[in-house]
């Protein structure tokens, strides 16, 4: 094992270990939980960036820890999103959750230790899901993200939050159950085709032994298994028509958890789909899978965009926007060309950052207005004199609507070009779905920032500002710091588009030709 691979392995072990320790320490009390979570996410971020640098700059593709995990560009790409969003959400949580204790009488300070326990469990499961080489571990990690975040979705213990949590668990549990059945079918077919049992459980083993699968007479059950896996992870990604859990869960969770759910939890499922897409691609079985992703993705963009038009609840609006954006990623994957996969990968990380920033901004609005979620009711963020919140939200929305030269602009251009090279009907469908979603988000953005017809009077605004001033000065410093930190990253990528594209191209190469990539 090369020195750089050994260093990356130690860094991965450190990341996993630090989140496990933080989980245990969180049980002591909420103050220890805050400190442990902050240390875990900061050190985990630094270690994850080290792993990503080694993998993406050195072209490392190496199974580690007995083959259970994999150092590769796709995993490193996911690790970047997980570590950044996890870090800013942890910093944000300190002030936000303390503020919620004052607003929500059902939440006591000591209950926050459970919040940090499940927060670190979520981080651990996300890291495992993006780095998994073992297909059973991949399934278990994705399922673990559901269980950990479901307890956070229902954290407020209100009727609506508990209902959202149960809906999330049941629907995603059924979906991931399909993924488990599909995983077992892929494993059984692989073993029956002559692949050693220990290799049949590994993604790298399946790729390296692809010749045995190509020669197999069990291609139909193999393709069925792949489709079941993709369907199961589609549920977790929140794609139409199995998206019904997403608006409730993402809107009822505490805002830093909403940032994680919309920013990276759904991306973990999409990365799992990309791994199986890469396998299907080398087996030349990706045709039907690609068509399914294409149709589902376009419908998700249309449905998500149309639902955005009627939303006044700021968190539900961003949740439906997530359905639209994951639909775009699925569509780009379904198109299947190099440009399509590149567009999907670029959008995975940049959408994670912009959507996390949007939810963190919405959390500030909730605190400042004592829980009001209707941005038309407060007359828009600027009319309500929430200038910092308006600035943060505007930057996030500019990224979401693909304002040039944001990376999201180029990912949508690449998708459009990929669709144009595929066929005219696909090009038209992609164009129409993009227009619906973009116009919806722009229209809502104008109302959200500048206000609608239901604004409040000046005296009411002054009263609101005085009422919540204590939160701004004492409790929300960590929230503002987290927003500024993430805003700097989002804005910086406006200027660093070319390096960002270059990194995404490395990951694209692995997905399209993993069998070639392994022999480098």
Q: Which of 187-191, 201-205, 384-388 has the lowest mean pLDDT?
A: 384-388
pLDDT in tens, 143-159: 999 999 999 998 888 88
In this prediction, residue 298 carries a pLDDT of 92
**Predicted TM-score of the model (pTM):** 0.92
Q: In angstroms, how far apart are the furthest CA atoms of the chain?
A: 76
Structural contact between residues 332 and 260, judged by C-beta atoms closer than 8 angstroms: no
Structural contact between residues 417 and 342, judged by C-beta atoms closer than 8 angstroms: no
C-alpha to C-alpha distance for 334 and 296, rounded to whole angstroms: 9
The predicted model gives 71-76 an average pLDDT of 94
For residue 493, whether the previous peptide bond is cis, meaning omega lies within 30 degrees of 0, is: no
- pLDDT bracket for residue 499 (50, 70, 90): very high
In this prediction, residue 518 carries a pLDDT of 54
C-alpha to C-alpha distance for 199 and 209, rounded to whole angstroms: 8
pLDDT in tens, 81-100: 999 999 999 999 998 888 87
108 backbone φψ class: left, alpha, beta (φ>0; ψ -120 to 50): beta
pLDDT at residue 471 greater than cutoff 90: no
Structural contact between residues 75 and 138, judged by C-beta atoms closer than 8 angstroms: no
- pLDDT bracket for residue 519 (50, 70, 90): very low
In this prediction, residue 467 carries a pLDDT of 40
- pLDDT bracket for residue 123 (50, 70, 90): very high
Strand-strand pairing, 69-71 and 62-64: antiparallel
φ, ψ (nearest 5 deg) of residue 62: -150, 120
Cα–Cα separations (whole angstroms), residue 62 to 3, 4, 57, 138 = 12, 11, 14, 17
* Alpha-carbon 472 to chain mean position: 28
In this prediction, residue 99 carries a pLDDT of 80
C-alpha to C-alpha distance for 345 and 152, rounded to whole angstroms: 28
C-alpha to C-alpha distance for 395 and 480, rounded to whole angstroms: 14
Residue 492 CB partners (closer than 8 Å, separation 6+)? none
pLDDT in tens, 414-430: 999 998 888 888 888 88
pLDDT in tens, 443-454: 888 888 887 544
| Helix intervals (H) in 253-386 | 255-260, 266-282, 286-309, 314-335, 338-368
Q: Token pair 């996030």 is at which residue? A: 396
- pLDDT bracket for residue 516 (50, 70, 90): low
C-alpha to C-alpha distance for 389 and 393, rounded to whole angstroms: 6
pLDDT at residue 457 greater than cutoff 50: no
* Alpha-carbon 411 to chain mean position: 16
C-alpha to C-alpha distance for 378 and 292, rounded to whole angstroms: 42
Q: How many CB atoms lie within 10 A of CB 215?
A: 10
- pLDDT bracket for residue 102 (50, 70, 90): low
Rounded percentage of the chain residues whose pLDDT exceeds 70: 93
In this prediction, residue 504 carries a pLDDT of 94
The predicted model gives 155-174 an average pLDDT of 90
pLDDT at residue 456 greater than cutoff 70: no
403 backbone φψ class: left, alpha, beta (φ>0; ψ -120 to 50): beta
pLDDT at residue 32 greater than cutoff 60: yes
In this prediction, residue 462 carries a pLDDT of 44
pLDDT in tens, 481-497: 999 999 999 999 999 99
pLDDT at residue 477 greater than cutoff 80: yes
- pLDDT bracket for residue 140 (50, 70, 90): very high
Structural contact between residues 374 and 452, judged by C-beta atoms closer than 8 angstroms: no
The predicted model gives 161-177 an average pLDDT of 92
Sketch the domain layout of the chain as residue ranges. Answer: 3-517
The predicted model gives 390-419 an average pLDDT of 91
Q: What is the residue-averaged pLDDT of the chain?
A: 87
The predicted model gives 322-328 an average pLDDT of 93
In this prediction, residue 209 carries a pLDDT of 86
Residue 507 CB partners (closer than 8 Å, separation 6+)? 56, 73, 74, 76, 77, 345
Structural contact between residues 129 and 272, judged by C-beta atoms closer than 8 angstroms: yes
């Amino acid at each position: 094992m090369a020195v750089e691979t050994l260093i990356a392995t130690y860094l991965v072990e450190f990341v996993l270990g630090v989140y496990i320790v933080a989980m245990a320490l969180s049980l002591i009390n909420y103050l220890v939980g805050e400190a442990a979570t902050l240390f875990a996410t900061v050190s985990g971020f630094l270690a994850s960036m080290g792993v990503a640098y080694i993998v993406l700059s050195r072209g490392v593709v190496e199974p580690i820890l007995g083959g259970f995990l994999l150092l590769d560009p796709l995993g490193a790409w996911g690790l970047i999103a997980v570590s950044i969003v996890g870090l800013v959400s942890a910093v944000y949580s300190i002030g936000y959750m303390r503020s919620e204790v004052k607003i929500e009488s059902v939440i006591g300070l000591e209950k926050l230790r459970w919040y940090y326990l499940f927060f670190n469990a979520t981080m651990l499961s996300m890291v495992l899901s993006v780095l998994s080489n073992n297909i059973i571990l991949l399934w278990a990690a994705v399922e673990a993200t559901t269980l950990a975040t479901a307890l956070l979705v229902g954290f407020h213990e209100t009727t609506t939050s508990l209902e959202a949590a149960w809906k999330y668990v049941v629907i995603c549990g059924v979906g991931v159950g399909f993924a488990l059945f599909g995983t077992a079918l892929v494993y059984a077919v692989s073993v029956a085709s002559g692949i050693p049992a220990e290799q049949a459980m590994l993604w790298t083993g399946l790729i390296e032994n692809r010749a045995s699968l190509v020669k197999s007479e069990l291609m139909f059950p193999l393709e069925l298994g792949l489709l079941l896996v993709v369907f199961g992870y589609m549920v977790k990604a929140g794609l139409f028509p199995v998206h019904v859990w997403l608006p409730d869960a993402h809107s009822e969770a505490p805002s830093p958890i909403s940032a994680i759910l919309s920013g990276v939890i759904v991306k973990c499922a999409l990365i799992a789909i990309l791994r199986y897409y890469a396998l299907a691609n080398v087996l030349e079985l990706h045709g039907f899978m690609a068509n399914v992703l294409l149709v589902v993705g376009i419908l998700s963009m249309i449905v998500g965009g149309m639902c955005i038009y009627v939303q006044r609840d700021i968190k539900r609006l961003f949740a439906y926007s997530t359905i639209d954006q994951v639909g775009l990623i699925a569509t780009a994957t379904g198109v299947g060309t190099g440009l399509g996969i590149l567009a999907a990968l670029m959008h995975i990380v940049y959408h994670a950052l912009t959507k996390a920033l949007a939810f963190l901004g919405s959390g500030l609005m909730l605190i400042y207005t004592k829980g009001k979620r209707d941005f038309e009711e407060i007359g828009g963020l600027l009319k309500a004199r929430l200038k910092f919140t308006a600035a943060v939200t505007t930057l996030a929305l500019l990224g979401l609507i693909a304002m040039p030269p944001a990376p999201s602009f180029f990912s949508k251009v690449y998708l459009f070009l990929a669709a144009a090279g595929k066929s005219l009907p696909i090009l038209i469908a992609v164009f129409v779905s993009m227009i619906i979603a973009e116009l919806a988000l722009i229209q809502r953005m104008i109302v959200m920032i500048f206000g609608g017809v239901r604004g409040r009077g000046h005296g009411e605004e002054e009263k609101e500002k005085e009422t919540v001033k204590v939160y701004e000065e004492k409790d929300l410093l960590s929230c503002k710091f987290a927003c500024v930190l993430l805003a700097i990253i989002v804005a910086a990528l406006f200027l660093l588009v070319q390096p960002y594209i270059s990194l995404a191209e490395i990951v694209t190469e692995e997905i399209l030709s993993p069998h070639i990539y392994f022999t480098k």
